[in-house]
Amino acid sequence: MNFTTEIRRDLIRAVYEKRCCRLALLSGFLDTSGSWSIGSESARDGFSFTSESEQIADFLLGIVRGLFGVEMQVEHAVRDERHKRDKLTFGYYGERAGEFADEITDYSPANNLSDCCARAYLAGAFLGSGSCTLPREDKKTGYHLEVVFHCGFADLAAADFQTLLGRFHIPAGVVLRGEAYVVYLKSREAISDFLAVASAGAARARLEEVSRLRTENNYANRASNCLAGNADRAAIASVEQVVAFGKLKEKGILATLDAPLREAAEARLSHPERTLAELAEGLHITKSCLNHRLRKLMKLAGEHD
């Protein structure tokens, strides 16, 4: 199951007790996945919506039935061969369609929606045309949530949706894609806030878990890379010391040094594979003390190069 499907499942399972919230949810859905034919230029008054998800279609049909006591009928079905599923269009046309339209559009973001209705509108819009992707396991970025507006006033609807998100302090961008306007979120924090506001709690929990695991993996990788880098540098330093101290020994300089310096050089020459800590332990001195002696030896070797 992809992440978009998980979010939709959460939104369908949420409880929308108030009539106003159900109207707001329907308004958001129709703004993103529906169409209206109301007025004198229409052959018949009504509204329709299209969905490729049987679960979402059943959910919305139940919303319409509960609100208005009418049944929407299948107008046509188109087979999506790529995804191997049908895209169904449901419509309602009747003398009360104008009345229903007035009540539904009262709950658009252009009006002063209550918090509960605003949350329901966000949920309905995502159910209509929303999608969300998470970064691949080997990537640090790639969080993306979007809602697409295709309606006749898509630019205004997208701008109103962006403003509605801002009401909950969720930063969003808007971009024109073909003839549609897309409202998008690009950060994990913004997506997490959206899921919380829209009542997709389980999906939000999964997002946070994915983020936590990815953060832990990133820390582990950085630590591993750091250790590997340190090991490489230590190995290079050991080789440089062996070469330098070998020259001091060949020139007879090593034998003239004080015992502490001579012992440090001999220890490195005898054990080039040992770490600084291991050499210090063998000499019964601190790592800091040994490091100081090795630096003095390297400086001396440089003076006699």
Question: pLDDT by residue (tens digit) across 152-191?
Answer: 688 999 999 999 999 999 999 999 999 899 999 999 899 9
pLDDT at 268: 86
Residues 6+ apart with CB under 8 A from 78: 86, 87, 89
Quick one: which of 173, 181, 176 has its CA closest to 148?
A: 181
Per-residue model confidence as pLDDT tens digits over 237-296:
877 888 888 888 888 888 888 888 989 888 888 888 888 888 888 888 998 898 899 998
pLDDT recorded at residue 43: 65
47 or 273, which is more confident: 47
Alpha-helix residue ranges (DSSP H) falling in the chain = 3-13, 19-33, 54-68, 97-105, 115-129, 154-167, 188-197, 201-250, 259-270, 276-283, 287-303
First CA to last CA distance, the chain:
67
Q: Which of 17-21, 212-216, 222-226 has the lowest mean pLDDT?
A: 222-226
* Nearest by Cα to 265 from 279, 281, 251: 279
Closest by Cα among 245, 236, 305 to 270: 245
> Which CATH architecture describes the domain 3-214?
Roll (3.10)
Spans of all domains in the chain:
3-214, 225-303
pLDDT of residue 128: 94
pLDDT at 223: 54
| pLDDT of 4 higher than 90 | yes
Residue 294 and residue 272: Cα distance in Å, rounded?
Answer: 13
